[in-house]
Amino acid sequence: MIFGDDKVIGDNNETLQILGDIRYDGPINYFFAVIIILAFIVSGVLNPALFWFHCTRPATVPALIFKMLNAIDFLTTTCLIPYLAYGLLTPTLMPHQVPASLGQRFYSAVFAFILFLSVSITTLMTAARVYAIKYPLKVMHKRYSVLFPMLGFISLALVIVGINFYYNTTWDRFLYSTNRLKLVLFEPGTGKINNWPELAFGGILMSIAVAGCVCAVITGKEVYKSISQMKLIGYKKKSTNCLERTHSCITIIMLAAGIQVAVVLVIVQFVYSIFVRHGFPYHANYFFYGNGLVCSLVTSVLNPIIKVARSSDFKKILFKELQNNFSKGRLTDSGSLAGRLFVQSQTLSA
């Protein structure tokens, strides 16, 4: 388990305090474990399905970005959730602030890299939408709108994760990583930052996330403007293309909501860490742990749910094929099923 009684030993081997609260630790451990297991199931089903669906669509910039988002969300839950579930469900208390093994440091680095790309792809998605809004007549080329930005993000992630991998050598059970996004803590009684590599990682990542939030706000203004125009002239007189564009903008805003919530929570945690200089109350770890999962875990599960709920083509193809199969009283083999779904998807996109 991650939350539980833990004795804090001083320099002279005397017990200074005992962390843990028997009233809440057990329920909190099981609550997080249930959420994580459910998230693993949902992400493991929806993200591969949506990735395949976007592979059948025309190779546009949005389709390419959605495929990357589905892939990175799947990797997030696949890499993080099994280990977190093990840590939460094991009967023994996981160690806290101990020297990290090479395997633990490598796991932290891999997940930090995935987390960095997850936020970067979400920001790239909102930026591409803003570009389409500001320059509707210009064609977005994949090389400049996807390839070059992603090469830049990957290079930056490798540098900052490598620095954290080299300098951070301790293991924190409350965040289950040495390099994951967590707000820097100040040394007790001082304003001295105790981990500059983590501050650099979090600062760069939050800057990218804030840029995504700004793009989401610009997209929201476009949606508000479009809805106002439709109200003036009537929905029926509005072109189908404009309605589809507004619908897609709303979808982008919903997909970007995760990083917006994460930014707010990080700001709250940062302000809190400034004013608390003599050690955090034990129960603050519940918030810190949950906050650390918002950007990485919750968004990787909510993103495919939102996309499935908002994609009429995906639901049409899926429901029609299921209806045909069950009306015949049998399920066809996966090869023929995938073939018919591919044909239907191409028909809808034509």
What is the pLDDT at residue 148? 93
Compute the Cα dihedral for 210, 215, 216, 221 and give only its sign.
Answer: positive
pLDDT winner (highest mean) among 39-48, 149-158, 309-318: 149-158
Alpha carbon dihedral 302, 305, 311, 312, in 10-degree steps, equals -150
Whether 123 is in a domain gets the answer: yes
Residues 242 and 339 in one domain: no
How many separate domains does the chain show? 2
pLDDT score for 241: 62
The Cα 104–Cα 305 span in angstroms is 31
Query: Which range, 127-136, 153-162, 334-343, has the best average confidence (pLDDT)?
Result: 153-162
Contact predicate 28/284, CB 8 Å: no
Instruction: Tell me, yes or no, whether 336 and 289 share the same domain.
Output: no
Residue 319 forms part of a structural domain? yes
C-alpha dist (Å) from residue 47 to 24, 71, 72, 305, 308: 33, 7, 9, 9, 10
Whether 1 is in a domain gets the answer no
* Separation CA 65–CA 299 (nearest Å): 16
Q: Is residue 323 part of a domain?
A: yes
Q: Do 305 and 324 reside in the same domain of the chain?
A: no
Residue 207, domain extent:
6-310
Strand, coil or helix: 79 = helix
Domain membership of residue 11 (yes or no) is: yes
Between 350 and 296, the higher pLDDT residue = 296
Q: Residue 10 has what pLDDT?
A: 56
Q: What is the pLDDT of residue 14?
A: 56
What integer pLDDT is reported at residue 177 of this predicted model? 46
CA dist 73 and 254 (Å) reads: 15
- In this prediction, residue 249 carries a pLDDT of 81
Q: Do both 39 and 79 map to the same domain? A: yes
Average pLDDT over residues 34-54: 87
Q: Measured between alpha carbons, how far is 142 from 121 in angstroms, rounded to an integer? A: 14
According to DSSP, the β-strands at 15-19 and 6-9 are antiparallel
Q: Please compute the mean of the pLDDT values over residues 167-176 and round it to a whole number.
A: 74
| 0.85 exceeded by pTM | no
User: For residue 190, is pLDDT > 60?
Assistant: no
Per-residue pLDDT tens over the stretch 238-290: 556 667 777 778 888 888 887 788 788 877 777 777 776 566 677 777 877 88
* Integer Rg of the chain from CA: 23
- Mean pLDDT, rounded, of the chain: 77
Would you say how long the chain is, in residues? 350
Residues 334 and 191 in one domain: no
Q: Are strands 98-99 and 170-171 parallel, antiparallel or unpaired?
A: antiparallel
Q: At residue 179, does pLDDT exceed 50?
A: no
Give yes or no for a contact between 181 and 267, defined as CB atoms under 8 angstroms apart. Answer: no
Q: Could you tell me if 228 and 347 lie in one domain?
A: no
Say whether both 298 and 190 belong to one domain. yes
Q: Which range among 41-50, 58-67, 96-105 shows the weakest confidence by mean pLDDT?
A: 96-105
Clarify whether residues 232 and 97 are in a common domain.
yes
Q: By mean pLDDT, which of 4-18, 44-58, 294-308 is the weakest?
A: 4-18
**pLDDT for res 156:** 94
What pLDDT shows up at residue 283? 79
Mean pLDDT, range 132-148, rounded to an integer? 84
pLDDT in tens, 283-333: 777 877 887 777 677 778 888 888 888 777 777 776 676 666 666 655 445
Do 137 and 60 lie in one domain? The reply is yes
**Average of pLDDT values for 166-190?**
61
203 domain-assigned: yes
Per-residue model confidence (pLDDT) at position 238: 53
Quick check: is 45 in a domain? yes
**Counting beta carbons within 10 angstroms of the beta carbon of residue 105, is it exposed (0 to 12), middle (13 to 18) or buried (19 or more)?**
buried
- The domain that holds 239 is classified in CATH as 1.20.1070.10
Same domain, 183 and 324: no
Residue 77 domain-assigned? yes
Q: Do 131 and 246 reside in the same domain of the chain?
A: yes
Q: Note whether 212 and 67 are same-domain residues.
A: yes
At 17, is the pLDDT very low, low, confident or very high (cuts 50, 70, 90)? low
